[in-house]
Amino acid sequence: MTAPLRLGLAGLGTVGIGVVKIVQRHAGLITARTGRPVTITAVSARDRTKNRDADLSAYAWEDDPVALARRDDVDVLIEVMGGHDGPARAATEAAIAAGKDVVTANKALLAHHGQELAEAAEAAGAVIRFEAAVAGGIPVIKALTEGLAGNEIRRVMGVMNGTCNYILTRMQAAGLPYATVFEEARQLGYLEADPNLDVGGIDAGHKLSLLAAIAFGTRVSFDKVELEGIGNVSIEDINLADEMGYHIKLLGVAQMSGRGLEQRMTPCLVPAESPLGQLQGGTNMVVLEGDSVGQIVLRGPGAGEGPTASAVMADVIDLARGLRISTFGQPAATLAQPVAARSATPAPYYIRATLLDKPGALAKIATCLGEAGISIDQMRQLNKPGEKDDLAVVLIVTHKAAPADIAHALDQFGATGVMLGAPVAIRIEAV
């Protein structure tokens, strides 16, 4: 029997305790699959006295995760503390400096420091694995780096933040406004400590930037992701979209166009009957498109103790089996510096505008669209009981239009003198 693979576990929260449970429950199964035992030798967290719903008595304790990473009886650091700097970064760097492999669930760390950490790991002969960092229990990193390695990737797309998907689907199902459902999500413990990481689209943007790096062989460029969160999605737009056969999702899309790397994480309308449109609650879905394979759809739990620990353990088991793949699927030095391109791919748009209800108002709006080269597919005025009769809510669905043309037309709306408030424009994504 080969020597055990010895883990040092930094973080004993939701994910860390999930890892402890799998290591303890499946010791025999893991040994059978890898040919060597996988053991935890030492753990670290902030509060040693906390009751953690797992038996940790066999493990050494370190107050300092950096000391944990440097221990002679630790072969692999499991970093499940979180945060893009601080102890997570320090412990990861310490492990790499000591030539040790790192398994992390920390998308923020890699979105901000992925390139330098990958270079340092390769220089030290170490490997960084991060299956759990993107879409929780869904093996999407493995799918891209291994299963689809023979493809040129055309597009990566998906719903990658379970909290946002919960909020949007709950708003729709219960007819509740954003603020009410946001508060429910907080009560249920779904939100990150900084809720803006979720609802601001940042967490999902981190994940998209990691997938884009693997898919397109480029350095992680989170700072170039076009980000828009879900805070401005209204129940009115959710209901109107639904009437037209669409659902609103916080959708990430990354693709390499002739102009450069497009990465966006924004609310979009998707067909209600499509796999993405049907996605309920905290579930994630990632759609991968390769030149040879066509379209692959991966769906599953994007968070939680079991699913996330499952992904961490998949990486651990790969290391125990001796599988060593570069962090982003190819040597870090060969990752290209991407040229970031604003999304220019034309798409239909949903536009809702509130106008003064007077002769010619609608014509002025239609003229702005026409002058921007945008063709109208559907248009209707909503006559809702109880609305003031001096205003008109107008709903427009355009034919495919370039994002820049839509932005220009919306700017022109303001100069017509008939607008009441800002218009809403949401891209309709073909999926």
Ligand X SMILES: NC(=O)C1=CN([C@@H]2O[C@H](COP(=O)(O)OP(=O)(O)OC[C@H]3O[C@@H](n4cnc5c(N)ncnc54)[C@H](OP(=O)(O)O)[C@@H]3O)[C@@H](O)[C@H]2O)C=CC1
**Site residues, ligand HSE (CB under 6 A):** 136, 161-163, 192, 198, 203, 302-303
Site for ligand X contains 47 (CB under 6 A):
yes
**Which DSSP string corresponds to 69-118?**
HH-TT-SEEEE-S--SSHHHHHHHHHHHHTT-EEEE--HHHHHHHHHHHH
249 marked ligand binding residue: no
How many whole angstroms separate alpha carbon 144 and alpha carbon 210? 11
Kindly determine how many residues on this chain lie close enough to bind ligand X according to the rule CB under 6 A: 23
Residue in the shown chain whose Cβ atom is closest to ligand X: 13
Of residues 57 and 334, the one with the C-beta less far from ligand X: 57
Only segment of 7-15, 153-161, 244-252, 414-422 that touches ligand X (CB under 6 A): 7-15
Report the helix count and the strand count for the chain, using DSSP H and E: 14, 16
In the range 11-40, which residues lie near ligand X by CB under 6 A? Answer: 11-16
The DSSP code for 175 is T
Q: How far is the CB of 271 from ligand X (least distance, A)?
A: 28
Which contiguous run of DSSP H or E holds residue 156? strand 153-159
Site for ligand X contains 195 (CB under 6 A):
no
How many whole angstroms separate alpha carbon 167 and alpha carbon 185? 7
107 marked ligand binding residue: yes
Site for ligand X contains 80 (CB under 6 A):
yes
How many whole angstroms separate alpha carbon 286 and alpha carbon 265? 13
Q: How far is the CB of 103 from ligand X (least distance, A)?
A: 11
Only segment of 45-53, 117-125, 214-222, 354-362 that touches ligand X (CB under 6 A): 45-53
Of residues 45 and 94, the one with the C-beta less far from ligand X: 45
Asked if 65 and 102 count as a contact pair (C-beta separation under 8 A), the reply is no
Which contiguous run of DSSP H or E holds residue 393? strand 391-398
How many whole angstroms separate alpha carbon 195 and alpha carbon 183? 11
**Which DSSP string corresponds to 4-33?**
PEEEEEE--SHHHHHHHHHHHHTHHHHHHH
* 162 contact choice in ligand X, ligand HSE, none (CB below 5 to 8 Å, kind-dependent): ligand HSE
Q: Which of 207, 224, 249, 388 is catalytic?
A: 207
Asked if 74 and 7 count as a contact pair (C-beta separation under 8 A), the reply is yes
Site for ligand X contains 132 (CB under 6 A):
yes
The set of residues, in sequence order, having a beta carbon less than 8 Å from that of 16 and lying 6+ positions away, is: 9, 10, 43, 45, 78, 80
Of residues 205 and 403, the one with the C-beta less far from ligand HSE: 205
Site for ligand X contains 105 (CB under 6 A):
yes
How many whole angstroms separate alpha carbon 250 and alpha carbon 228? 9
Q: How far is the CB of 192 from ligand HSE (least distance, A)?
A: 5
Of residues 118 and 138, the one with the C-beta less far from ligand HSE: 138
Position among 41, 44, 161, 266 found at the interface with ligand X (CB under 6 A): 44
Has 207 been annotated as catalytic? yes
Of residues 54 and 98, the one with the C-beta less far from ligand X: 54
Q: Hey, what are 218's tokens?
A: 């480029």
Position among 69, 70, 77, 87 found at the interface with ligand X (CB under 6 A): 87
Q: How far is the CB of 80 from ligand X (least distance, A)?
A: 4
How many whole angstroms separate alpha carbon 34 and alpha carbon 5? 10
- Catalytically annotated residues: 207
Which parts are annotated binding residues for NADPH? 107
| Residues of the shown chain interacting with ligand X in the complex, contacts defined by CB under 6 A | 11-16, 44-47, 50, 65, 80-82, 87, 105-106, 132, 136, 303-304, 308
List, as residue ranges, the binding site for L-homoserine: 192
Binding residues, as ranges, are 107, 192
